[in-house]
Amino acid sequence: MTAPRFVFTIAATDGAARTGTLALRRGTIRTPAFMPVGTAATVKAMRPAEVAASGADIILGNTYHLMLRPTAERIARLGGLHRFMGWAGPILTDSGGYQVMSLGALTKVTEEGVTFASHRDGSRHAVTPERSIEIQRLLGSDIVMAFDELVALPADRSAVEAAMQRSMRWAARSRAAFNAGGDHAANASLFGIQQGGLDEGMRATSATALRAIGFDGYAIGGLAVGEGQDAMFGVLDYACDQLPATAPRYLMGVGKPDDIVGAVLRGVDMFDCVLPTRSGRTGQAFTRAGPINLRNARFVEDERPLDADCPCPVCAAASRAYISHLVRSDEILGAMLMTEHNIWFYQTLMADLRAAIANGCVVAFAAAFLFRYRRDLDSASANE
Protein backbone atom coordinates (compact mmCIF):
# COMPACT_ATOMS: atom_id res chain seq x y z
CA MET A 1 0.00 0.00 0.00
CA THR A 2 1.38 3.41 -0.94
CA ALA A 3 1.54 6.23 1.60
CA PRO A 4 -1.20 8.88 1.36
CA ARG A 5 -0.49 11.98 -0.68
CA PHE A 6 -2.08 14.30 1.88
CA VAL A 7 -4.26 13.52 4.91
CA PHE A 8 -4.74 16.11 7.66
CA THR A 9 -6.22 14.75 10.89
CA ILE A 10 -7.14 16.84 13.94
CA ALA A 11 -6.76 14.55 16.97
CA ALA A 12 -7.67 17.03 19.73
CA THR A 13 -8.64 20.64 20.26
CA ASP A 14 -8.38 22.95 23.25
CA GLY A 15 -10.12 26.22 22.59
CA ALA A 16 -8.91 27.37 19.17
CA ALA A 17 -5.68 25.36 19.51
CA ARG A 18 -5.52 22.00 17.80
CA THR A 19 -3.11 19.09 17.49
CA GLY A 20 -3.00 16.32 14.93
CA THR A 21 -1.04 14.92 12.04
CA LEU A 22 -0.40 15.77 8.42
CA ALA A 23 0.39 12.55 6.55
CA LEU A 24 2.43 12.97 3.37
CA ARG A 25 4.05 10.37 1.14
CA ARG A 26 7.49 10.94 2.68
CA GLY A 27 6.36 11.02 6.29
CA THR A 28 3.92 12.25 8.90
CA ILE A 29 4.13 15.74 10.39
CA ARG A 30 2.95 16.22 13.95
CA THR A 31 1.09 19.51 14.38
CA PRO A 32 1.56 22.15 15.61
CA ALA A 33 4.85 21.88 13.76
CA PHE A 34 7.92 24.08 13.40
CA MET A 35 9.86 23.74 10.15
CA PRO A 36 13.59 24.50 10.36
CA VAL A 37 14.64 26.61 7.40
CA GLY A 38 17.06 24.98 4.97
CA THR A 39 17.60 28.05 2.82
CA ALA A 40 20.25 26.77 0.43
CA ALA A 41 19.66 23.00 0.74
CA THR A 42 21.02 23.00 4.28
CA VAL A 43 19.80 23.90 7.74
CA LYS A 44 22.86 26.01 8.44
CA ALA A 45 25.45 24.47 10.80
CA MET A 46 23.52 21.19 11.13
CA ARG A 47 23.58 17.82 9.41
CA PRO A 48 20.25 16.31 8.30
CA ALA A 49 20.47 13.53 10.88
CA GLU A 50 20.89 16.10 13.64
CA VAL A 51 17.86 18.02 12.42
CA ALA A 52 15.79 14.84 12.44
CA ALA A 53 17.06 13.89 15.90
CA SER A 54 15.75 17.19 17.27
CA GLY A 55 12.19 16.11 16.45
CA ALA A 56 11.71 18.01 13.19
CA ASP A 57 9.35 16.18 10.84
CA ILE A 58 9.65 18.60 7.91
CA ILE A 59 12.03 21.31 6.72
CA LEU A 60 11.67 24.30 4.41
CA GLY A 61 13.67 24.92 1.24
CA ASN A 62 13.96 28.32 -0.39
CA THR A 63 12.96 28.67 -4.03
CA TYR A 64 14.67 32.01 -4.57
CA HIS A 65 18.09 30.96 -3.29
CA LEU A 66 18.04 27.55 -4.94
CA MET A 67 16.99 28.94 -8.31
CA LEU A 68 20.06 31.21 -8.23
CA ARG A 69 22.50 28.61 -6.91
CA PRO A 70 22.96 25.80 -7.81
CA THR A 71 19.74 26.21 -9.92
CA ALA A 72 16.64 24.06 -9.77
CA GLU A 73 17.57 22.41 -13.08
CA ARG A 74 20.86 21.17 -11.67
CA ILE A 75 19.19 19.84 -8.52
CA ALA A 76 16.66 18.02 -10.71
CA ARG A 77 19.46 16.41 -12.73
CA LEU A 78 21.02 15.26 -9.47
CA GLY A 79 17.86 13.52 -8.31
CA GLY A 80 15.86 16.26 -6.60
CA LEU A 81 16.27 18.24 -3.41
CA HIS A 82 15.74 15.33 -0.99
CA ARG A 83 18.53 13.29 -2.53
CA PHE A 84 20.74 16.33 -3.10
CA MET A 85 20.79 17.33 0.57
CA GLY A 86 20.27 13.92 2.14
CA TRP A 87 16.92 14.64 3.81
CA ALA A 88 14.44 11.77 3.58
CA GLY A 89 11.44 13.48 5.18
CA PRO A 90 8.96 15.98 3.75
CA ILE A 91 10.12 19.33 2.38
CA LEU A 92 8.03 22.46 1.94
CA THR A 93 9.34 24.98 -0.58
CA ASP A 94 8.31 28.61 -0.37
CA SER A 95 7.39 30.40 -3.58
CA GLY A 96 10.30 32.85 -3.54
CA GLY A 97 8.04 35.88 -3.31
CA TYR A 98 9.37 37.14 0.01
CA GLN A 99 13.02 36.96 -1.05
CA VAL A 100 12.28 38.57 -4.40
CA MET A 101 10.81 41.54 -2.59
CA SER A 102 13.36 41.74 0.22
CA LEU A 103 16.61 40.76 -1.53
CA GLY A 104 16.13 41.38 -5.21
CA ALA A 105 17.40 44.75 -6.41
CA LEU A 106 15.55 46.86 -8.99
CA THR A 107 12.41 44.76 -8.57
CA LYS A 108 9.57 45.39 -10.99
CA VAL A 109 6.11 43.90 -10.45
CA THR A 110 3.67 43.51 -13.32
CA GLU A 111 0.57 41.38 -13.81
CA GLU A 112 2.75 38.76 -15.48
CA GLY A 113 5.15 38.40 -12.55
CA VAL A 114 8.29 39.90 -11.05
CA THR A 115 11.62 40.79 -12.60
CA PHE A 116 14.59 41.52 -10.36
CA ALA A 117 18.36 41.67 -10.12
CA SER A 118 20.05 38.91 -8.15
CA HIS A 119 21.48 39.99 -4.80
CA ARG A 120 24.50 37.79 -5.62
CA ASP A 121 25.74 39.03 -8.98
CA GLY A 122 23.19 41.50 -10.33
CA SER A 123 21.99 39.10 -13.06
CA ARG A 124 18.41 39.68 -14.18
CA HIS A 125 15.70 37.11 -13.52
CA ALA A 126 11.97 36.81 -13.98
CA VAL A 127 9.62 34.84 -11.76
CA THR A 128 5.99 34.29 -12.65
CA PRO A 129 3.49 32.03 -10.89
CA GLU A 130 4.17 29.43 -13.56
CA ARG A 131 7.96 29.67 -13.17
CA SER A 132 7.74 29.50 -9.36
CA ILE A 133 5.70 26.31 -9.57
CA GLU A 134 8.10 24.91 -12.19
CA ILE A 135 11.08 25.53 -9.92
CA GLN A 136 9.36 23.83 -7.00
CA ARG A 137 8.48 20.89 -9.26
CA LEU A 138 12.12 20.56 -10.32
CA LEU A 139 13.15 20.60 -6.67
CA GLY A 140 10.61 17.85 -5.99
CA SER A 141 9.10 19.35 -2.84
CA ASP A 142 6.23 17.72 -1.01
CA ILE A 143 4.38 20.96 -0.20
CA VAL A 144 4.43 23.67 -2.86
CA MET A 145 3.49 27.28 -2.14
CA ALA A 146 1.51 29.49 -4.52
CA PHE A 147 3.34 32.57 -5.78
CA ASP A 148 2.20 35.81 -4.14
CA GLU A 149 3.10 39.47 -3.76
CA LEU A 150 4.25 40.59 -0.33
CA VAL A 151 3.93 44.15 0.99
CA ALA A 152 5.98 45.24 4.02
CA LEU A 153 3.99 47.01 6.74
CA PRO A 154 3.07 49.74 7.37
CA ALA A 155 1.77 50.40 3.86
CA ASP A 156 -0.99 52.37 2.17
CA ARG A 157 -4.30 50.56 2.05
CA SER A 158 -4.38 50.87 -1.74
CA ALA A 159 -1.00 49.14 -2.05
CA VAL A 160 -2.06 46.31 0.28
CA GLU A 161 -5.33 45.80 -1.59
CA ALA A 162 -3.69 45.83 -5.03
CA ALA A 163 -1.11 43.26 -3.90
CA MET A 164 -3.82 41.08 -2.35
CA GLN A 165 -5.95 41.11 -5.50
CA ARG A 166 -2.94 40.36 -7.71
CA SER A 167 -1.91 37.55 -5.35
CA MET A 168 -5.34 35.98 -5.76
CA ARG A 169 -5.02 36.08 -9.55
CA TRP A 170 -1.55 34.59 -9.21
CA ALA A 171 -2.99 31.93 -6.87
CA ALA A 172 -5.33 30.76 -9.65
CA ARG A 173 -2.42 30.65 -12.09
CA SER A 174 -0.33 28.76 -9.53
CA ARG A 175 -3.12 26.21 -9.13
CA ALA A 176 -3.35 25.69 -12.90
CA ALA A 177 0.43 25.37 -13.25
CA PHE A 178 0.59 22.90 -10.37
CA ASN A 179 -2.24 20.78 -11.81
CA ALA A 180 -0.28 20.48 -15.07
CA GLY A 181 2.68 18.99 -13.19
CA GLY A 182 2.06 15.31 -13.93
CA ASP A 183 3.59 12.91 -11.41
CA HIS A 184 4.72 15.71 -9.11
CA ALA A 185 1.17 17.09 -8.88
CA ALA A 186 -0.11 13.60 -8.13
CA ASN A 187 2.34 13.15 -5.27
CA ALA A 188 2.70 16.67 -3.83
CA SER A 189 0.35 19.25 -2.30
CA LEU A 190 -0.30 22.92 -2.95
CA PHE A 191 -0.93 25.64 -0.34
CA GLY A 192 -2.54 28.99 -1.07
CA ILE A 193 -1.48 32.16 0.75
CA GLN A 194 -3.94 34.58 2.32
CA GLN A 195 -3.03 38.26 2.05
CA GLY A 196 -4.64 41.53 3.10
CA GLY A 197 -2.33 43.17 5.61
CA LEU A 198 -4.08 44.12 8.85
CA ASP A 199 -7.50 44.60 7.26
CA GLU A 200 -10.16 42.05 8.24
CA GLY A 201 -12.29 42.72 5.18
CA MET A 202 -9.39 42.25 2.77
CA ARG A 203 -8.37 39.08 4.57
CA ALA A 204 -11.91 37.77 4.19
CA THR A 205 -11.92 38.60 0.47
CA SER A 206 -8.60 36.80 0.07
CA ALA A 207 -9.81 33.74 1.99
CA THR A 208 -12.97 33.54 -0.11
CA ALA A 209 -10.95 33.65 -3.33
CA LEU A 210 -8.54 30.95 -2.11
CA ARG A 211 -11.36 28.66 -1.00
CA ALA A 212 -13.00 29.02 -4.39
CA ILE A 213 -9.77 27.96 -6.12
CA GLY A 214 -9.21 25.12 -3.67
CA PHE A 215 -5.94 24.22 -1.94
CA ASP A 216 -4.68 21.42 0.28
CA GLY A 217 -3.60 23.88 2.96
CA TYR A 218 -3.71 27.60 3.58
CA ALA A 219 -0.95 29.95 4.67
CA ILE A 220 -1.43 33.25 6.44
CA GLY A 221 1.00 35.56 4.67
CA GLY A 222 1.94 39.20 4.93
CA LEU A 223 2.65 39.14 8.68
CA ALA A 224 5.89 39.38 10.66
CA VAL A 225 6.86 42.16 8.26
CA GLY A 226 7.01 45.09 10.67
CA GLU A 227 3.55 45.23 12.23
CA GLY A 228 4.48 44.05 15.74
CA GLN A 229 3.18 41.15 17.82
CA ASP A 230 -0.05 42.77 19.05
CA ALA A 231 -1.11 43.63 15.50
CA MET A 232 -0.17 40.15 14.27
CA PHE A 233 -2.24 38.50 17.00
CA GLY A 234 -5.10 40.84 16.16
CA VAL A 235 -5.11 39.47 12.61
CA LEU A 236 -4.83 35.87 13.77
CA ASP A 237 -7.88 36.37 16.00
CA TYR A 238 -10.01 36.37 12.84
CA ALA A 239 -7.81 35.10 9.99
CA CYS A 240 -7.75 31.47 11.15
CA ASP A 241 -11.55 31.34 11.24
CA GLN A 242 -11.70 32.68 7.67
CA LEU A 243 -9.82 29.61 6.42
CA PRO A 244 -11.17 26.04 6.19
CA ALA A 245 -11.18 24.32 9.58
CA THR A 246 -10.39 20.97 7.96
CA ALA A 247 -7.13 22.15 6.34
CA PRO A 248 -3.77 22.99 7.95
CA ARG A 249 -3.03 26.65 8.63
CA TYR A 250 0.53 27.83 8.15
CA LEU A 251 1.79 31.16 9.54
CA MET A 252 4.72 32.08 7.32
CA GLY A 253 7.99 33.42 8.72
CA VAL A 254 7.07 33.22 12.43
CA GLY A 255 8.82 33.46 14.70
CA LYS A 256 9.94 34.08 18.27
CA PRO A 257 8.89 31.46 20.84
CA ASP A 258 6.23 33.74 22.35
CA ASP A 259 4.91 34.49 18.84
CA ILE A 260 4.49 30.76 18.24
CA VAL A 261 2.73 30.12 21.55
CA GLY A 262 0.27 32.95 20.92
CA ALA A 263 -0.38 31.79 17.35
CA VAL A 264 -1.01 28.17 18.44
CA LEU A 265 -3.59 29.45 20.93
CA ARG A 266 -5.33 31.11 17.97
CA GLY A 267 -5.42 27.98 15.79
CA VAL A 268 -2.22 27.94 13.71
CA ASP A 269 -0.75 24.52 12.82
CA MET A 270 2.57 25.19 11.05
CA PHE A 271 5.45 27.64 11.38
CA ASP A 272 8.86 28.42 9.93
CA CYS A 273 11.52 30.97 10.79
CA VAL A 274 15.27 31.49 10.40
CA LEU A 275 15.51 32.81 13.97
CA PRO A 276 16.79 29.67 15.77
CA THR A 277 19.53 29.06 13.21
CA ARG A 278 20.47 32.70 12.65
CA SER A 279 20.54 33.36 16.39
CA GLY A 280 22.70 30.30 16.88
CA ARG A 281 25.29 31.69 14.49
CA THR A 282 25.32 35.09 16.23
CA GLY A 283 25.65 33.88 19.82
CA GLN A 284 22.04 33.88 21.04
CA ALA A 285 20.60 30.80 22.71
CA PHE A 286 16.92 30.31 23.45
CA THR A 287 16.05 29.09 26.94
CA ARG A 288 12.87 28.76 28.98
CA ALA A 289 14.09 31.80 30.90
CA GLY A 290 14.35 33.88 27.72
CA PRO A 291 17.15 34.22 25.15
CA ILE A 292 20.71 34.72 26.37
CA ASN A 293 23.70 36.21 24.55
CA LEU A 294 26.76 34.01 25.02
CA ARG A 295 29.06 36.85 24.00
CA ASN A 296 28.19 38.56 27.28
CA ALA A 297 31.00 38.49 29.86
CA ARG A 298 28.74 37.11 32.60
CA PHE A 299 28.82 33.67 30.94
CA VAL A 300 32.59 33.18 30.64
CA GLU A 301 32.79 31.15 33.88
CA ASP A 302 29.20 29.92 34.00
CA GLU A 303 29.35 26.13 34.37
CA ARG A 304 25.60 25.56 33.89
CA PRO A 305 24.13 24.19 30.66
CA LEU A 306 22.40 26.60 28.31
CA ASP A 307 19.04 25.44 29.72
CA ALA A 308 18.87 23.02 32.64
CA ASP A 309 15.50 21.69 31.44
CA CYS A 310 16.58 21.11 27.84
CA PRO A 311 16.92 17.49 26.63
CA CYS A 312 19.32 18.32 23.79
CA PRO A 313 22.81 16.74 23.42
CA VAL A 314 24.44 20.16 23.78
CA CYS A 315 22.94 20.84 27.20
CA ALA A 316 23.91 17.33 28.29
CA ALA A 317 27.60 17.83 27.45
CA ALA A 318 28.66 21.49 27.25
CA SER A 319 28.69 24.39 29.70
CA ARG A 320 27.78 27.99 29.03
CA ALA A 321 31.41 28.84 29.76
CA TYR A 322 32.70 26.53 27.03
CA ILE A 323 30.15 27.64 24.47
CA SER A 324 30.82 31.28 25.39
CA HIS A 325 34.51 30.67 24.72
CA LEU A 326 33.72 29.16 21.31
CA VAL A 327 31.36 31.98 20.37
CA ARG A 328 33.70 34.74 21.55
CA SER A 329 36.55 33.06 19.65
CA ASP A 330 34.40 32.79 16.49
CA GLU A 331 34.97 29.05 16.40
CA ILE A 332 32.77 27.12 13.95
CA LEU A 333 31.85 24.63 16.67
CA GLY A 334 30.21 27.43 18.63
CA ALA A 335 27.74 28.10 15.83
CA MET A 336 27.09 24.37 15.45
CA LEU A 337 26.36 23.77 19.14
CA MET A 338 24.26 26.90 19.50
CA THR A 339 22.19 26.07 16.43
CA GLU A 340 21.62 22.48 17.52
CA HIS A 341 20.42 23.64 20.92
CA ASN A 342 18.11 26.26 19.43
CA ILE A 343 16.51 23.80 17.01
CA TRP A 344 15.97 21.35 19.88
CA PHE A 345 14.46 24.16 21.97
CA TYR A 346 11.93 24.96 19.26
CA GLN A 347 11.06 21.31 18.65
CA THR A 348 10.67 20.66 22.38
CA LEU A 349 8.36 23.67 22.63
CA MET A 350 6.22 22.25 19.83
CA ALA A 351 6.09 18.84 21.52
CA ASP A 352 5.06 20.49 24.79
CA LEU A 353 2.32 22.45 23.01
CA ARG A 354 1.02 19.29 21.32
CA ALA A 355 0.91 17.46 24.66
CA ALA A 356 -0.81 20.40 26.39
CA ILE A 357 -3.51 20.57 23.72
CA ALA A 358 -4.07 16.82 23.89
CA ASN A 359 -4.38 17.05 27.69
CA GLY A 360 -6.72 20.05 27.58
CA CYS A 361 -4.36 22.39 29.44
CA VAL A 362 -2.78 24.51 26.71
CA VAL A 363 -3.93 27.84 28.18
CA ALA A 364 -2.31 27.01 31.52
CA PHE A 365 0.84 25.76 29.79
CA ALA A 366 1.06 28.91 27.67
CA ALA A 367 0.56 31.19 30.67
CA ALA A 368 3.31 29.45 32.64
CA PHE A 369 5.70 29.38 29.70
CA LEU A 370 5.15 33.03 28.80
CA PHE A 371 5.34 34.21 32.41
CA ARG A 372 8.79 32.71 32.86
CA TYR A 373 10.05 33.48 29.35
CA ARG A 374 9.03 37.14 29.41
CA ARG A 375 9.87 37.77 33.08
CA ASP A 376 13.38 36.46 32.77
CA LEU A 377 13.74 38.03 29.33
CA ASP A 378 13.12 41.45 30.88
CA SER A 379 15.58 40.66 33.69
CA ALA A 380 18.22 39.44 31.26
CA SER A 381 17.84 42.52 29.09
CA ALA A 382 18.48 44.73 32.09
CA ASN A 383 21.72 42.84 32.81
CA GLU A 384 23.10 42.81 29.26
Dihedral angle over CA of 241, 243, 247, 253, nearest 10: -90
Per the annotation, the verdict on 237 as an active-site residue is no
CA dist 120 → 61, 104, 136, 164, 383 (Å): 18, 9, 21, 29, 39
> DSSP letters along 241-272, please?
HHS-TTS-EEETT---HHHHHHHHHTT--EEE
Q: What are the φ and ψ backbone dihedral angles of 16, each rounded to 5 degrees?
A: -80, -20
From the candidates 57, 94, 148, 269, which is the catalytic residue?
94
Dihedral angle over CA of 363, 364, 366, 370, nearest 10: 140
Per the annotation, the verdict on 258 as an active-site residue is no
Cα separation of the two ends of the chain: 57
Instruction: Check: CB of residue 139 under 8 Å from CB of residue 66.
Output: yes
Instruction: Name residue 108's beta-bridge partners.
Output: 115
Catalytic residue IDs: 94, 272
